[in-house]
Amino acid sequence: MTHNCVLVADGSRARFFKLQDVEFPELESGPNLTEINDMVNPEKEVHQRDLWSDAKSGRNRVAAGGMAHGYDDHRAQHEDEYERRFARDIAREVERLTSEASDCRLVIVAQRRILGFLRSELESLARQSRIEIRELAKDLCKLAPRELHDFLARERLLPKRRQPQVAGV
């Protein structure tokens, strides 16, 4: 049986879900997407002024009438490194969650930027194990599990929820 796992991430948060069958399919609709873990990027949670000594103005200021010049303090490179580290932490958690499943389908739903970092971190995991990875470049981190499941089912990334199987009526 294939286990379905879902990772939903943006640059500051990652949520991990498993698709779980219901105990009594004749009485309950299912399967249900259940959140099993979440992570927060600590470097994204730090307020901008606490992370940098100066607010980036984009230009140095000079006396009135003088020429101003642009500068680059390489903040974008630092922010890339923060997201790369977060993607590495996410990949470790994915590996832990999928290690017990012999056959697993992982659906990754993430912003384009973090998806690129995740792709490079997870490619070795996909080669080493029997994990099928599907991707969707979209920010759905704030959706409730039921809304997320419905959206991914419409995109044909997860099976649809089934209605209760009432017999003999």
Separation between Cα atoms, residue 17 and residue 34, nearest integer Å: 5
Separation between Cα atoms, residue 6 and residue 151, nearest integer Å: 12
**Going edge to edge, which strands form the sheet with 104-110?**
32-40, 13-20, 3-9, 104-110, 131-137
Reported as a single tens digit per residue, the pLDDT across 108-117 is: 999 999 999 9
Pair 93, 122: CB distance under 8 Å = no
Q: Distance from first CA to last CA of the chain, Å, rounded? A: 30
Stated pTM of the model: 0.76
Could you give the domains of the chain?
Answer: 3-50+71-154 (3.30.420.60)
Reported as a single tens digit per residue, the pLDDT across 18-66 is: 988 767 666 666 688 999 999 998 876 554 545 545 555 555 555 566 6
